[in-house]
Homo-oligomer: A and B are copies of this chain.
Amino acid sequence: MNDAPLPFNRRLDEAMEKTGSLLCVGLDPRVALLEEPVEDFCRRIIDATWEAAVAFKPNAAFFEALGLDGHQRLATVLGHCPPGRIMVLDAKRGDIGSTAEAYAHAAFGVLGADAVTVSPYLGGDSVAPFLADAAHGAFLLCHTSNPGAADLQHLEIEGRPLYLHLAALARGWNAQGNLGLVVGATYPEALERVRAAAPELPFLVPGIGAQGGDLEASVRAGLDALGRGLLISSSREIIFAADPRAAALRTRDAIDRARG
C-alpha cells in the first residue's frame, strides 16, 4: 500500500465529488464594510456557508492592509477550515528560486493554506517551488477578467494569445498533479479555449456575480471530462448578503443546474 498523501488535484476532485459542490466562497473582507474583527467576520461566513461550498478563498491583500498582524488574522481564518473542504490562499505570489521557496513555505507551512494563487511572469522555475510538495497546490494566473488583461494576456504569440500559450506550458509543469489555472468568468469563450488547451487542470474561476460573469455559460465552458474541475468563486454576493447561507446555497444550486 502506498501511504503517500494524495496529490492536491486529486484531493480537490474528491472534495468536489463528496460535497457535490463546485462553489468556492471568496473571503475578500474589505475592511471599510466590516463592523467586527475581520477574522470573526470570516469565521462567521465560513460557518454559515460551508455546507454549500467545497472551498474558501481568503485574499491576503485585505488582511495585509489591516495592519502588521494581518498574517495572524489570515492564519486564524485558514485554520478554520471545515472538514473535507479546501483552503485556497489568494496571494498571487511569484519570485525566483529560494525566494519562491520561502513564499511557498509561508503559504503552506506558516499560514496553513492547501493551495495558493501564483503569478506566471517569471516562468516555470518560479512556479516549481510551489509544486514541490504534491499535497499542496498552486493556481497559476492564466486569463483574468479585468480590462488590463488585454495588455499582456491577449498578445498574439504565433497565432494564439499569450494566455493559451501559458495554459499549454502549465500542462507541462503539472508533473505532480497539483497545478491549476485561474481563469476569469467574464468571457466564457476564453474559458472554453483554456479548457481545450488544458483538459485535465482544475480551474479557479473568480468573477461570478459582481464581476459580471455569466454563471451558466462559464460552468458549461469550463467543466472537465468528469463534469467537475472547476472552482466557481463568488465573494461579495455571498459574504455581504443579508443571508450569506441562503446566498451560498442559491449559488451552489445555480451551478448545479448549469452542470445539467
Which A residues form the contact surface with B (CB < 8 A)? 28, 30, 59, 61-62, 64-72, 75, 92-100, 102-103, 105-106, 109-111, 119-127, 141, 144-153, 155-158, 162, 165-166, 169
Contacts and interface: CB of A to CB of B under 8 A. Distances in A.
Contacts of A71: 64, 68-71
B146 A96 contact: yes
A152 B126 contact: no
Contacts of A120: 121, 151-152
B148 A62 contact: no
A111 to B, nearest CB: 8
A169 B155 CA distance: 12
25 contacts: A30-B98, A61-B106, A62-B102, A64-B102, A64-B106, A65-B102, A68-B75, A69-B71, A70-B71, A70-B110, A92-B94, A94-B119, A96-B145, A97-B146, A119-B119, A120-B152, A121-B153, A123-B144, A123-B147, A123-B150, A124-B148, A126-B148, A152-B166, A156-B158, A162-B162
A95 to B, nearest CB: 5
B99 A62 contact: yes
Given A99-B62, A121-B120, A110 B155 contact: no
A100 to B, nearest CB: 7
Copies of this polypeptide in the complex: 2
Contacts of A70: 71, 106, 110
A155 B144 contact: no
A123 B98 contact: no
B110 A67 contact: yes
A98 B92 CA distance: 14
A103 B105 CA distance: 20
Contact of A151 (B98, B119, B169): B169
